[in-house]
Amino acid sequence: MRYRGFAALCCVMLTPVFGQLKPKDVREIGKDGASALPKLRALLKDPNPRIREEATKLIGEIGTAESVDLLLEALRDNHPDVQIRATDHLVNFYLPGYLQSGLAGRLKSVGRAIPWRSPAENDQVVEPYVQVRPEVIEELGKIARGGSSMLSRANAARAVGILRGRAAIPDLLEAMRSKDSGVIYECLIAIQKIQDRSTAPRIRYLLNDFDERVQIAAVEATGLLRAEESAGDLVQLFGRTSKPRVRKAVLLALARIPDPNSRALFQRHLDDRDEDLRGAAAEGLGRLRHAEDREAVERAFQNESKPSPRLSMAFALVLLGRQEIAEFSPLQMLINTLNNRARQGEAFALLVELARDAEVRKLLYPAMATGTKDEKIYLARVLGRSGGPDSVPPLERLIDDRDADVAQEALRASRSVKTRL
């Protein structure tokens, strides 16, 4: 061990003269773990970017608090691959497992364009109780705004969103001036995750972006931010666009705002031929909470054969007063769907919103105590997002569940609720 460390140190010292250090030599140094950090830090100044990238990777894998300081140093490197590597390892420090889906592991295969994320991957975000060092957000914001490549900027914007970096919002807004669709898209996804209402007017111009992915992301962000001032823009966009994906996103955004002026639009599309529009229309009517719409939504719910709009209609009926737990009740249907791997994500998102109502939460507690494993796990996650003081005792009881996965999820949710209170 002593010989290996001495030989590696000699390599570091002799590199400026002979230029013989290779990535495999850096990996040999990294085998000493945390004690190798001073040597790896010295390699962050190496003239060869491949050596700097390898050193950054090993620093991140060591994963100590000191590693974070060195990763911040690597983040200031002028080479995009080093910036990307440092970014992903910083995220992984706060969200373990991120490297499996992060960009750094795919640098050799993705080329020079950031790959679009699936909806599932776009949901990645740290738990509310995770405290991210302010300087991490600050440095990532700088890269998002002015990194050495559009790829590293987009990746940093993605990281800001995952880490809920509210302090970097000015950087995200500035980064969207880049005219690069990948950067703009990742900034919009980050804004969706941070959910700062003040950003809504600043993204309004992107509702008409020529890139469909960017346009849809802007529409979705507008809805999530409840941007009432943009409701008219969304209605106009819905009327003039013929793109199915854009129309769906627009009606969902209007359903989330919701504006009383959109009620007639929702009523017209409750029986639309497009199942996505039927579901969005039902959600909009539910959030408007006009009791006289309940009969129409009930009828649509009974006649609906497609699972996705039926979930939306069940959600709407709960908002319109159907809050009982019974064998075929709308709320029970949403809970049962947590066992369906193909639909549990949809049911989860709808239950998160419903659980903001204390009366609905009370109905969920018995179901969480006696439900299936998936029901317990997802209902704990629901309460982690939307629970109040009344949610802590049921979650703490679930921590004693015999299933370790359930107990762990309950513990995580309990910590999230307590952090928010």
Q: How far apart are CA 398 and CA 416, in angstroms?
A: 15
164 close to 193: Cβ distance less than 8 angstroms: yes
Closest alpha carbon to 251 in 229, 213, 277, 273: 277
Query: Quick one: pLDDT band at residue 18, thresholds 50, 70, 90?
Result: very low
Q: What is the mean pLDDT of residues 164-191?
A: 96
Instruction: Compute the C-alpha angle 252/98/131, nearest 5°.
Output: 85
Q: How far apart are CA 323 and CA 332, in angstroms?
A: 9
Q: What is the mean pLDDT of residues 384-389?
A: 96
Q: How far apart are CA 99 and CA 88, in angstroms?
A: 6
137 close to 169: Cβ distance less than 8 angstroms: no
pLDDT at 112: 52
Residues 253-282 pLDDT 10s: 999 998 999 999 999 999 999 999 999 999
Q: How far is CA 41 from the centre of its chain?
A: 32
pLDDT at 105: 74
Residue 6 has pLDDT above 80, yes or no: no
pLDDT at 343: 96
Of residues 88 and 111, the one with the higher pLDDT is 88
Residue 156 has pLDDT above 80, yes or no: yes
Residues 70-84 pLDDT 10s: 999 999 999 999 999
Query: Quick one: pLDDT band at residue 116, thresholds 50, 70, 90?
Result: low
Residue 155 has pLDDT above 90, yes or no: yes
State which amino acid sits at residue 298: E
Query: Quick one: pLDDT band at residue 121, thresholds 50, 70, 90?
Result: low
Q: What is the mean pLDDT of residues 220-245?
A: 96
Q: Mean pLDDT across the chain, nearest whole number?
A: 92
Residues 292-327 pLDDT 10s: 999 999 999 999 999 999 999 999 999 999 999 998
